[in-house]
Homo-oligomer: A and B are copies of this chain.
Amino acid sequence: MPDPLVIAGKPFNSRLMLGTGKFKDFGVMREALEASGAEIVTVAIRRVELGAPGHVGLLEALDLSRYHLLPNTAGARTAEEAVRIAKLARALTGTNWVKLEVIPDPTYLLPDPLETYRAAQELLEAGFTVLPYIGPDPVLAQKLAALGTATVMPLGAPIGSGWGLKGRAFIEILTKERPAPVVVDAGLGLPSHAAEAMELGADAVLVNTAIAEAKDPVAMAAAFRQAVEAGRAAYLAGPMPPRATASPSSPTAGIPLPQPEAPT
């Protein structure tokens, strides 16, 4: 039963996107990409341009016949900077897809909702396919989708933290409303975090640090691949509802347990 992820009209088989930063070397990166099954990979174009550590020769190291490149605007602190980097990315790579990141916050690396919205407007007008990185904010997601962004990419937790779905209740609302395909991005530290996002109804997840900084990045990439597939399959398979009663495999089932509570 085919169940493609469709973004901007383009179908993908994989629901796991990978970032390309922080790998020990390009060899490991390529093997991890292979093991992950990812089709979409993000690249920090500004760091490539600057020749930041780990980014010299990065574009050349990727087999672009095989991966759909998703340049991001990492480094941008304002809408203007993001638009400039997006245009640079388009010139360098030929794609008009862009993962829009506007991050003014030097400490926690959280995105700016106002500048992100402004940049999305400009980039959509300039013909870009825009995948904006946002906080776990269902209303902002609605408004970006109404503008015409191709996805919304709410964060699980601060970039690189590995904390998992720290705004889970809000991600749950966001995936239920799903004004555009939802890609949970940032902060996922373990395969179970990725599975959890998919079980809630996310369309895809993006992972970088948790794979690149594992002791064995290639094995971890394969683990994330399986977890994303498991989470998606569970979502489609119709999970049992968590229940407020214990339930043995017998006719005496159904005795009251503690009251259900708020989403965790």
Q: Tell me the A residues contacting B by CB distance below 8 Å.
A: 19-22, 44, 47, 52-54, 74-75, 104-114, 117, 135-140, 142-143, 157-164, 166-170, 172-173, 176-177, 189-193, 195-196, 199, 208-210, 213-217, 219-220, 222-227, 229-231, 233-234, 236-243, 245-253, 255-264
Inter-subunit contact B249/A21 (CB<8 Å) = yes
Inter-subunit contact B223/A237 (CB<8 Å) = yes
Known: A173-B257, A230-B223, A261-B261. A105 touches B139 (CB 8 A): yes
Number of copies: 4
Inter-subunit contact A242/B113 (CB<8 Å) = no
Inter-subunit contact B192/A107 (CB<8 Å) = no
Known: A114-B140, A234-B191, A237-B214. A262 touches B199 (CB 8 A): no
Closest residue of chain B to A238 (Cβ to Cβ) is B215
User: B136, B189, B253, B262: which contacts A162 (Cβ < 8 A)?
Assistant: B262
Chain A, interface SS category: loop
Contacts A135-B135, A157-B262, A258-B263 aside, 5 further interface pairs with beta carbons under 8 A come to: A47-B250, A159-B247, A192-B192, A222-B233, A223-B231
Roughly how many angstroms separate A105 CA and B237 CA in the complex, as a whole number? 30
Inter-subunit contact B230/A163 (CB<8 Å) = no
Known: A234-B220, A248-B109. A163 touches B169 (CB 8 A): yes
Inter-subunit contact A109/B246 (CB<8 Å) = yes
